[in-house]
Structure 1
């Protein structure tokens, strides 16, 4: 299988926060991989912009170090790295003042795509947008990329959207969620809407329930101060898990175009029912030997912020009436794994008896690690001894199915940045989507605050609090085992 790489139009990409951690770990090494693949054309340029006093040579040295530290096999391509570094420039910029803006304006070229990546705190978005227009650096064709958090509640999300809308049209704003750039997430849409096998079964007549799990083995050490003001609900559920829920539950769009897809996602969010308090479990990881507890990591001995959330949701529409969606996410869990599992109903009538009758089909979409899709089906166990049934996966692990091309599966950030250059907003959130998600999320958080809700302790390396297991057991169901 030969990978088809279509070059994008020449561009000038300005990365505000170009010396920051995200730029070093993801954005700049990813752009080098796109250059190496031929997708980023030789005429394109990247301009780092940050507070640090640095010249072009210093920035290029920093980027070379970042590729060496965070790159994969491509970091051995020394000649290509040297060519890539020649495409880089740097401007020291004062986001709240006037320093560096004239220099940046002088770097921009006519006749190429102009894109601006706001890899900075949301508090600086307005200042950057204002100065880009005041110095005529951005125009009606320019695009901006903004990182989450997109507010911390409905009120701040509306304010942030209004700030950006004062300078840019909605068609120019790309709210990036790297989960939507994952290969498997896009394959989810291909599986759903490209195969006659699944779409007829994708409803409450055949689906028993759906589980969405995003589990991490790391804690919040190093970012405890930020996380303690956010928590798992704001940091993960309102954006990442919400987007996965939308993609798995949305109606088929009339065509695969940005607004058509995002209109259907918005309908899912607006159809979500309020969640009862007894259908939500919050948790905090406890200390484990020398490994500190959440409160130790957050340096807040009285913190009620959750590092784990599990909940049962319902979508109030014809397709999903009566089908529960179980969401869970947490830190310091037994394995690092992100998975969507569609659990189909039992057969209406089984010709088998006893244990042999209790088998279910499950479609599992693995987002990380080992991206892939498998369908659990029931077969006869090989060998003599009668009709003994076992469940086996029809497995499409990308690294196995695609062979050596799997080594070239594009990182989410790479794919999404190239979509920005193309002007394709399909995998980016629209402003009304963000606000609708907060409108559903805010009452849950407000309820916790009013009740002085205290998270349940859970052991590090576990699957979360016992109450999360009971959330499923009360319904006669079980969480799937978390496997890395």
Structure 2
């Protein structure tokens, strides 16, 4: 299928081209964009790395990743032959000016061959300490006349704390305009996440009740069965708050809580998301004790397999104070959401891998039904399931078939797999195409990044200054520490889980 709108000629440079991200995500995403007709007529993909590889060896490596991870399945020989002619490899030292001069020469040769100027996308799939080095060298050593067509894509983590995030923003904005900086969060590229705005702002039924008068509370859970795997070295310096809450989960909260934008302009939508973060109630020492819970997994069982505790994982300090679970109760202090709690939780080695947003509505003001009719009564709930299934379901009460009046919960379901044919685009496909199109709607702006860090820094400071004496405090395969249940139970609620065998948690 040929798209009706395509990017300009593009040179796509991947720093860290031999890494896992390029292999699993970036190459399959770019290949699928090509299959769907979204790539420009003239494009080039240059992978860089320290490993000595020829162009053909690099192409073979990327093909292995595409065959394993592409939503379109294994690459067909004829299609791959055409696509792969646009893939090249350059051995590089990120600190050596020669690397950037060679890239500049390559770019100029492509533009001469195409007889067109190209948009230049530099994707930084490398460790964060290389971000300033690469940015500085791009500005100094690559073609000067191409700077106005340059975009730089930054993978997380964007800073380790508020101060480092501010310093990185200052460095990047001293080289690039904010419109050239794409801070990527793959969660915002997921189909169900993008549908939050469509459901809210394209339907007259929902927006009038999207406020404190009708909504009881909101839950956002991003739970993982996996442990830290081979990321122990990185994770032990990060933890659940930095790895998941500061970026992914807070961005989901912003989409749920934001005010209606006046249009779909990127900065208008990002302004509304920043407004949410600035409206959120700050934490003092007392609030942290009652509003935030941390946990660390011990050994346990996952799907019948015994797994070690976090402190026994490779490259993890055997006395680590790093949290692998975090649950926080937030409030958004504005007219729409005053006193409506937002409960967020995330953790590793939990009972289920799922990303779910649950919006629970208040009870009806008066029930006309006798107690025996409403034995299975549940409050209305709107559920956005991001993974493993992609669906949006509205849970309501209905009469059960029969001669008596008995109510039970039923679901009105929008299921992607049942509604649409074919697999939807992966998040990275959406985000890479937006980068080529110059659309920053789904990317984080500098003030949004800093506002998110500012919000969670009091919690991080409190947790890092006082070692937990209870770690590990939940077994692998459970739903996390008992205190997380108490956090929400003290308000009369319980954590929502995805349906198992047709029954909702």
The TM-score range, normalised by the shorter chain, is: over 0.9
Q: C-alpha offsets along residues 191-241 of structure 1, whole Å, 9 cap, x if unaligned?
A: 001111100000000000000000000001211111011000000000001
Distance in 2 between residues matched to 1:482 and 1:366, nearest whole Å: 8
Change in Cα spacing, 1:449 to 1:135, as seen in structure 2 (3 Å) is closer
Instruction: Judge conservation of contact 1:9–1:112 (CA < 8 Å) in 2.
Output: yes
Aligned to 1:106: 105
Q: Is residue 134 from structure 1 mapped to residue 140 from structure 2 by the alignment?
A: yes
Among 193, 210, 220, which residue is 1:212 paired with? 220
- Tell me how far 1:64 sits from its aligned partner: 1.6
Give the 5 Å matches for 1:75-86.
Answer: 75-86=74-85
Distance in 2 between residues matched to 1:456 and 1:471, nearest whole Å: 18
Change in Cα spacing, 1:325 to 1:113, as seen in structure 2 (3 Å) is same
Distance in 1 between residues matched to 2:441 and 2:316, nearest whole Å: 40
RMSD over aligned CA atoms reads: 1.7
Change in Cα spacing, 1:321 to 1:16, as seen in structure 2 (3 Å) is same
Q: Is residue 367 from structure 1 mapped to residue 383 from structure 2 by the alignment?
A: no
Distance in 2 between residues matched to 1:328 and 1:194, nearest whole Å: 29
- Tell me how far 1:356 sits from its aligned partner: 4.1
Distance in 2 between residues matched to 1:482 and 1:310, nearest whole Å: 18
Q: Is residue 168 from structure 1 mapped to residue 168 from structure 2 by the alignment?
A: no
Partner-residue secondary structure (3-state), 2:417: helix
Aligned to 1:263: 271
Structure 1 segments (4+ residues) deviating >6 Å: 2-5
Number of aligned residues: 479
Partner-residue secondary structure (3-state), 2:147: coil
Distance in 1 between residues matched to 2:72 and 2:464, nearest whole Å: 48
Distance in 2 between residues matched to 1:173 and 1:330, nearest whole Å: 30
Q: Is residue 283 from structure 1 mapped to residue 295 from structure 2 by the alignment?
A: yes
Q: C-alpha offsets along residues 86-121 of structure 1, whole Å, 9 cap, x if unaligned?
A: 011111121111233222111112522111111111
Partner-residue secondary structure (3-state), 2:88: strand
Among 325, 328, 339, which residue is 2:345 paired with? 328
Aligned to 1:57: 56
Among 386, 393, 400, which residue is 1:381 paired with? 400
Partner-residue secondary structure (3-state), 1:354: coil
Aligned to 1:125: 131
Aligned to 1:399: 417
Structure 1, 46-55 or 434-443: larger mean CA deviation = 46-55
Distance in 2 between residues matched to 1:99 and 1:59, nearest whole Å: 21
Aligned to 1:227: 235
- Tell me how far 1:446 sits from its aligned partner: 0.8
Aligned to 1:308: 325
Aligned to 2:489: 473
Instruction: Judge conservation of contact 1:75–1:81 (CA < 8 Å) in 2.
Output: no
Aligned to 1:34: 33
Q: TM-score under structure 1 normalisation?
A: 0.96
Change in Cα spacing, 1:203 to 1:4, as seen in structure 2 (3 Å) is farther
Among 337, 343, 346, which residue is 2:360 paired with? 343
- Tell me how far 1:4 sits from its aligned partner: 6.3
- Tell me how far 1:482 sits from its aligned partner: 4.3
Q: C-alpha offsets along residues 107-151 of structure 1, whole Å, 9 cap, x if unaligned?
A: 112522111111111111111111112123351221110000000
- Tell me how far 1:274 sits from its aligned partner: 2.2
Structure 1, 109-118 or 306-315: larger mean CA deviation = 109-118
Q: C-alpha offsets along residues 269-322 of structure 1, whole Å, 9 cap, x if unaligned?
A: 011112412111111111126410011115322111110111111011000001
Partner-residue secondary structure (3-state), 1:99: helix
Partner-residue secondary structure (3-state), 2:148: coil
Structure 1, 132-141 or 330-339: larger mean CA deviation = 132-141
Distance in 2 between residues matched to 1:483 and 1:296, nearest whole Å: 32
Aligned to 2:503: none
| Structure 1 gaps, min length 5 | none
Distance in 2 between residues matched to 1:356 and 1:144, nearest whole Å: 60
Distance in 2 between residues matched to 1:294 and 1:165, nearest whole Å: 38
Among 460, 464, 481, which residue is 1:445 paired with? 460
Partner-residue secondary structure (3-state), 1:140: helix
- Tell me how far 1:49 sits from its aligned partner: 1.5
Q: TM-score under structure 2 normalisation?
A: 0.92
